[in-house]
Amino acid sequence: MKKKNIFNPKGDDTIKNRRIIKGSTTGLFQLNDSKYTWAKKMYPIMIGNFWIPEKITGLKDDARMFESNLSSHEQKAYKGILSFLIFLDSVQTVNLPNISDYITAPEVNLLLAIQTYQEAIHSQSYATILETVVDSQERNEIYYFWKNDEILLERNKYIGQIYQDFKDKPSDDNFFKTVIANYLLESLYFYNGFAFFDSLVDQMKMQATGRMIAYIRRDELTHVTLFANIIKEIKKEFGEIYSEKVIIDMMQIAVKQEINWSNHILGDKIPGINGESTEKYTKWLANHRLEMLGIGVLYKDAKENPYKHLDRLQDLDGDKSNFFEGSVINYTQSSGLAGDWEEI
């Protein structure tokens, strides 16, 4: 694959000849004519999700609660999960422009630019949490937790190496794997961590952190939808690149790693979460994400979300973040937040 030119006078941006990848672009951001109508629909939703972590109040209360109300197991999970989330959003911020270099539909490039900005905001959000809630002497330990934790290092290396392989060798196969890795990261890797923070909120603990996570989760749902649509367009336009086998193989690896990591960092000592619920939830979610791509169920026994008591928090079918006393909804710059992202 070749990166698109910054300026190509001989390019053709017309709808007839526009392609999700490998199109002949002029370099002009022609956004009045859109081939991918789902992208045009997503733009006001994503831009309407604008928020900044400095507007979240109550983190000082979380700092006091962290020391006095969380068990040692909850404190360890809080720090370990933050470390993993920090890594995920860090590599996304760095890698998304690399993917965008090969996307040749300006309406999709626009969404990727918004996503890159949002990932950077997420990284700043975690920094804000660490500055306020965690002792300063522990911050570097959290950032570099993977250096001393083999299971987390394995996870980070898996996703990081896929991204690096494409940057070093931008072949069709490596591009497709990178797009799938991005989809898995956005649609699966975050969610057991989110479930942990939601379980704390359900017990009336760490509610400011929970509000921050609600914003982040709302953003991530649009990212899942964005990459699901990119994958479906690749399947439609470049069947020779698309591989359902690659998707399933990578999903199985991701599920195994997500279960191992979640059991490692959460174990059976977090109220409402245990090894059985982690496995059921991860496999149920994997089925759901595969169905978004038009792929059949992979784990036939995982038919239901085991976290029924967190349905109002685990925002999988639309924005329910008004659970947090309306704070998330009230701060947004857009009123068009309701609806099912995954149907766009």
What tens-digit pLDDT sequence spans the chain (344 residues)? 999 999 999 999 899 999 999 999 999 988 888 999 999 999 999 999 999 999 999 999 999 999 999 999 999 999 999 999 999 999 999 999 999 999 999 999 999 999 999 999 999 999 999 999 998 888 989 999 999 999 999 999 999 999 999 999 999 999 999 999 999 999 999 999 999 999 999 999 999 999 999 999 999 999 999 999 999 999 999 999 999 999 999 999 999 999 999 999 998 889 989 999 999 999 999 999 999 999 999 999 999 999 876 666 544 344 433 333 333 333 444 434 334 445 55
Return d(Cα 85, Cα 102) in angstroms, integer.
26
Buried b (16+ CB within 10 A) or exposed e, 239-272: eebbbeeebbebbeebbebbbebbbebbeeebeb
First to last CA, the chain: 28
Residue whose entry in the numeric block shows the structure tokens 């109002």: 312
pLDDT of residue 333: 42
DSSP letter assigned to residue 5: P
* Residue 126 designated active-site: yes
Element (H, E) at 98: helix 72-100
What value does the CA radius of gyration of the chain take, rounded to a whole number of Å?
Answer: 20
Tokens of 126: 């975690």
Instruction: Find the catalytic residue in 126, 191, 299, 307.
Output: 126
Q: Note the CATH architecture for domain 43-328.
A: Orthogonal Bundle (1.10)
φ, ψ at 169 (rounded to 5°) = -140, 90
For tokens 């989809």, the residue is 183
Q: How far apart are CA 112 and CA 88, in angstroms?
A: 16
**Bridge partners, 140 (sequence order):** none
AA letter at 18: R
pLDDT value, residue 165: 98
pLDDT of residue 136: 85
Give me the residue spans of the domains in the chain.
Answer: 43-328
Report helix, strand or coil for 103. strand
pLDDT confidence of residue 335: 38
